[in-house]
Amino acid sequence: MEILENHSLEPLNTFGLDVRARYFAEVRTIEELLQLFERFPPASVPHLILGGGSNLLFTGDYRGLVIKISLKGLDVTEETEDCVEVTAAAGEDWDAFVGQCVERGWGGLENLSLIPGQVGSSPIQNIGAYGVELKDHFVQLEALDKKTGAILILDKDACRFGYRDSLFKGEGRGRYVILSVRFRLSKRNHRLSLGYGAILAAMEQKGITEPTIADVREVVCDIRRSKLPDPAITGNAGSFFKNPVISLDRYERLKIKYPAIVAYPDPNGMKLAAGWLIEQTGWKGYREGDAGIHPLQALVLVNYGKASGSQLIELSEKVKASVKQRFGVRLETEVNII
C-alpha cells in the first residue's frame, strides 16, 4: 500500500475539480485499512473516505488523508426458492453490481440502474430513483468504527434511513467506514416498480406489455442517459438538490397558484420535483463562466471545464434563493460539500 503526498484528486471526483490531497492511499483489503489507521490515527489527521467520487463537491484542497476504498467481492449469503441475500464489498461499482443482479434474475435494484458511485457509498445517501430506495432492499452493512476500532454490523434500524439521508450523514458522519452491504432480492414473484410516468411511456414506446427486470433496467438506463450528462465528458455529480417534501395542505395552496406543479405522494405529504421548480425560475441551461445548470436537467449543476467548487456553490445558492422567493420552498443540497 503506497501513501502519496500532494496527490491530485481531479480524476477521482466526477465534477473534475482540480484539487489535491495532502496524503492519499488506496486500500484493497480490510487489513490495509486497519494498518493505515494505525499510521494515521483518526484523532490526529483528518480523514476522507472516497468511493466513486460521484456525490461530493470539493471547495479546495483536502488537508488530510484521503482513503480510496477499493474492497472487492460479491457473495451469496443466503438463498431460498423465492429470494436471495447478496453481500457486495464497498469498492464494487454500483451499476456493475446492479447489472450482475439483473443478469442473475434477482429483482429489486433495477430502478437504481446507472446511478454512479460504489456500493459502499449507497447507504450513506440512501440512494433512490423512480420510486425505489436502497432501504427497500437493504438488510445490513458491515462498518469499521473509527472511534473504537471495532467492526460492527448495522441493520436497517441502526442506519436510520430517510429521504437521501442516513446515520452516516447525521450524528455518525465521518465516524464509520462502510466495508460491505447486504441486500435481499427477489428470485420470483417480484413486483416491478413502474409508477413513474417516464418508465411507463418508455415501455409503451418500445411495445413492451409484460416487462421484466431486464426491461426496467434498460429503460431506466435509457432515460438517465437522455437526461443526465456523462461525467467523463461534462463534470457533474448528478442531482445537486433534493426534491423538497412539504405538507399536503401547503401543496394544495401551491397547486391553486401553479396548476402545472409536478409532485408525488410522500409519507410526510407531497414531494415536489425540484427540477420543475428550478426550471420555472429560469435557471435551466444557465451558465456563469464554467459553472452552469444542465440544459436538459435543471437538477444538475455542471462544470464545463475550470469551474471551482466555490463557484458552483455560489451558483447553487442563487438557485435556492430564486426558488425560495417564488415558491416559498427551501431547496436542500444533495451532494456532500467538502
Helix (H, G, I), strand (E, B) or coil at 133: strand
Let me know the angle formed at the C-alpha of 224 by 265 and 271, rounded to the nearest 5 degrees. Answer: 15
Dist. CA 166–CA 99, nearest whole Å? 25
H-helix or E-strand containing 16? none
Q: Are 299 and 258 in contact (CB under 8 A)?
A: no
Q: Is 239 a catalytic residue?
A: yes
Q: Is 186 a catalytic residue?
A: no
Q: Are 222 and 205 in contact (CB under 8 A)?
A: no
Beta strands in the chain (DSSP E): 3-8, 20-27, 47-50, 56-57, 62-69, 74-79, 83-89, 128-129, 132-133, 138-145, 151-155, 176-186, 235-239, 245-246, 263-266, 269-272, 287-288, 291-293, 300-303, 336-337
The number of beta carbons lying within 10 Å of the beta carbon of residue 325 is: 10
170 DSSP β-pair partners = none
Q: Are 9 and 20 in contact (CB under 8 A)?
A: yes
Find the farthest-apart pair of alpha carbons in the chain and give their distance in angstroms, rounded.
61
Residue type, 66: V
Dist. CA 57–CA 219, nearest whole Å? 29
Dist. CA 200–CA 32, nearest whole Å? 46
Dist. CA 159–CA 106, nearest whole Å? 24
Catalytic residue chosen out of the listed positions 121, 122, 180, 239: 239
Q: Is 252 a catalytic residue?
A: no
Helix (H, G, I), strand (E, B) or coil at 60: coil
What residues are labeled active site?
164, 239, 334
